[in-house]
Amino acid sequence: MSCLIVQSDKTLLLEVDHDQADEARTSIAPFAELERAPEHVHTYRITPLALWNARAAGHDAEQVVDGLVRHSRYPVPQALLVDIVETMGRFGRLQLTNHPAHGLVLVSLDRAVLEEVLRNKKIMPMLGARIDDDTVVVHPSERGRLKQLLLKIGWPAEDLAGYVDGEAHPISLHEDGWQLREYQKQAVQAFWAGGSGVVVLPCGAGKTLVGAAAMAEAQATTLILVTNTVAGRQWKRELVERTSLTEDEIGEYSGEKKEIRPVTIATYQVITRKSKGEYKHLELFDSRDWGLVVYDEVHLLPAPVFRMTADLQSRRRLGLTATLVREDGREGDVFSLIGPKRYDAPWKDIESQGWIAPAECVEVRVTLTDSERLEYATSDAEERYKVCSTARTKAPVVKAILDQHPGEPALIIGAYLEQLHELGEALDAPIVEGSTKNKEREALFDSFRRGEINRLVVSKVANFSIDLPEASVAVQVSGTFGSRQEEAQRLGRLLRPKAERRQAHFYSVVSRDTLDTDYAAHRQRFLAEQGYAYRIVDSDDLLGPAIPDAG
């Protein structure tokens, strides 16, 4: 009996314990999004954006239909199959191309669609003269915004207008003692064939090397946008070590330095900083004739950068991420302005090849004391999550978890600074938070990498692009509400390959019967989609009843 139930409301129910579940999950992942992931049956939903992403990545409607029919326990509703074919057929009926005499044009393969678009009041000002029945001139500056609007009205355009080469700059990979892995090569090939788009790879799978290889393909000046200065300096170290680029060819554009070089690494913070109501660092985008723009952690791209990216449509754009999930719902803007998903490798596939560490995920449920429960019950709605996620009852549980992994490099991760300072004191471990100066932050990370310290308490700064391959245990005590992307980033801190293929352990300490439990279930959805199962244990069962009452 098959493991998938396909329903007419576009939901898919996957029986997790079935022996064909992994095969079915791999089959539906390109065109369905995970919605709920309890113990035994996971719920996916087929969305237009997921279908268009699949179409842009080279999957056709026949493949999608075949995957559903092959794995479905019952006959697939005919109306659903028709809807899939029609939805995927909407992609590319409008194409952006270059006309030899008129420049950028919108070409329709379906005249009725063009007529509909021409009557849209928001789109009309972006278009120029009509050349013939099927072709209309597009103002070049509106290439990105036009794609955004066309997606919103359900006619996603295929962008075939090409790219400028930008200012040439020689870049080559130094593959001395290492080589690009097969999936990294496939990712670069898929990106280059499409011209622009997003590569999705798990944390620890070498996204930086995919970026470096794309730069070597482009042989052009490159602007790299990163989440913070520490991440930028890690990029610089990797590029100097792995490519022909020298330190002098790579500039840092951050709060501390304003260097513009053939390869420039800028932080999102400095790009989006305002002065007197204006983005004063916008000139960075025009400061050189960039041939390639790389967006690291594209799922965290700030909204203002989307607006700036709308003006960069003639440049090749590469987004790198572990998850395309955006908590602000702007996945459509990533699709329109950065490009569709070009390559996606399931985490478990990379793990099975030995490139990332196998991970065990455990949710440890803690019972609040009577006084903590009363404080939670009487708190204002906006304060409740903080009250339950920072309960002092968690501290002895964290210590007991770490005692089960003596000597192993461990990260204790949370969102609330007062809680982290209390844990740092209780565990005699240094704390890295947003206010920690970059120099001190890097010194602590280096000490951790060398094994001089084996515990670090870290705030949300650990969510982004921090390379600590030695970490094999993480204990999460609080987070950003139900953020799936944050959960993925935090587990990602552990997935760098370990010596002797040691297993990584990811613990979430959660207060039962509170919002903490609800948000934890939401956070875990993305990892469940990647094939990770959370084992739920009671703190007493895991650690013994001797844990003292913290009330």
Asked if pLDDT for residue 413 goes beyond 60, the answer is yes
- Residues of the chain with pLDDT > 90, as a percent, come to 48
What's the confidence (pLDDT) of residue 549?
43
- With beta carbons less than 8 A apart as the criterion, state whether 144 and 177 touch: no
What's the confidence (pLDDT) of residue 495?
67
- Residue extents of the structural domains in the chain: 4-90, 94-159, 182-345, 351-543
Residue 218 makes CB contacts below 8 A (sequence gap 6+) with: 166, 171, 291, 292, 316
The CB density around residue 418, as the number of other CB atoms within 10 Å, is: 10
Q: What value does the mean pLDDT take over residues 356-371? A: 86
Eight-class DSSP state of 547: P
Q: Using alpha carbons, list the distances in angstroms from residue 391 to 414, 472, 508, 522.
A: 12, 25, 14, 20
Alpha carbons 415 and 193: distance in angstroms, whole number: 40
Highest mean pLDDT among 10-24, 64-78, 272-286, 530-544: 64-78
What's the confidence (pLDDT) of residue 503?
79
**Burial class (CB within 10 angstroms; exposed 0-12, middle 13-18, buried 19+) of 522:** middle
Q: What value does the mean pLDDT take over residues 354-368? A: 84
Core vs surface per residue 244-253: b (16+ CB within 10 A) or e:
ebeeebbbbb
Alpha carbons 304 and 318: distance in angstroms, whole number: 18
What's the confidence (pLDDT) of residue 464?
57
Share the mean pLDDT of the chain: 86
What's the confidence (pLDDT) of residue 345?
77
What's the confidence (pLDDT) of residue 350?
81
Q: Which residue in 48, 138, 31, 49 sits closest to 94, CA to CA?
A: 138
**Burial class (CB within 10 angstroms; exposed 0-12, middle 13-18, buried 19+) of 354:** exposed
Asked if pLDDT for residue 531 goes beyond 50, the answer is yes
Bridge-based pairing state of the strands 504-511 and 359-366: parallel
pLDDT: which is higher, 349 or 137: 137
- The packing angle between helices 438-450 and 229-242, to 10°, is 60
Q: Which residue in 293, 106, 98 sits closest to 214, CA to CA?
A: 293
Eight-class DSSP state of 227: S
- With beta carbons less than 8 A apart as the criterion, state whether 340 and 194 touch: yes
Alpha carbons 282 and 287: distance in angstroms, whole number: 9
- With beta carbons less than 8 A apart as the criterion, state whether 223 and 251 touch: no
Asked if pLDDT for residue 467 goes beyond 80, the answer is no
pLDDT: which is higher, 445 or 8: 8
**The one-letter amino acid at 143:** R
What's the confidence (pLDDT) of residue 178?
83
Alpha carbons 263 and 248: distance in angstroms, whole number: 10
Instruction: Extract the tokens encoding 288.
Output: 């050189």
Q: What value does the mean pLDDT take over residues 370-389? A: 90
Residue 255 makes CB contacts below 8 A (sequence gap 6+) with: 229, 267, 269, 270
Alpha carbons 476 and 474: distance in angstroms, whole number: 6
What's the confidence (pLDDT) of residue 446?
86
Among the listed ranges 63-77, 316-330, 424-438, which one has the minimum average pLDDT value? 316-330
Asked if pLDDT for residue 546 goes beyond 50, the answer is no
What's the confidence (pLDDT) of residue 118?
94
Q: How many CA atoms are closer than 13 Å to the CA of 309, on its beta-carbon side?
A: 31
Core vs surface per residue 78-109: b (16+ CB within 10 A) or e:
eebbebbeebbebbbbbbbbeeeeeebbbbbe
Bridge-based pairing state of the strands 431-432 and 455-458: parallel
Per-residue confidence at 204, pLDDT binned at 50, 70, 90? confident
Q: Using alpha carbons, list the distances in angstroms from residue 545 to 361, 366, 372.
A: 22, 12, 19
Q: What value does the mean pLDDT take over residues 23-41? A: 80
Residue 302 makes CB contacts below 8 A (sequence gap 6+) with: 268, 271, 272
Q: What value does the mean pLDDT take over residues 167-188? A: 91
Instruction: Extract the tokens encoding 135.
Output: 């072709």
Q: What value does the mean pLDDT take over residues 342-366? A: 81
What is the domain class of 351-543 according to CATH?
A: alpha beta
Asked if pLDDT for residue 77 goes beyond 70, the answer is yes
**Burial class (CB within 10 angstroms; exposed 0-12, middle 13-18, buried 19+) of 31:** buried
Alpha carbons 461 and 454: distance in angstroms, whole number: 18
Asked if domains 182-345 and 351-543 share a fold, the reply is: yes
**The one-letter amino acid at 523:** R
Q: Which residue in 180, 229, 228, 186 sits closest to 208, CA to CA?
A: 180
Note the CATH architecture for domain 182-345: 3-Layer(aba) Sandwich (3.40)
Q: What value does the mean pLDDT take over residues 416-420? A: 90
Q: Which residues pair with 293 in a beta bridge?
A: 223, 317
Alpha carbons 137 and 120: distance in angstroms, whole number: 15
- With beta carbons less than 8 A apart as the criterion, state whether 66 and 79 touch: no
* Cα 125 from chain centroid (whole Å): 34
Instruction: Extract the tokens encoding 338.
Output: 């950065």
Taken in order 180, 181, 186, 187, the sign of the CA dihedral is negative
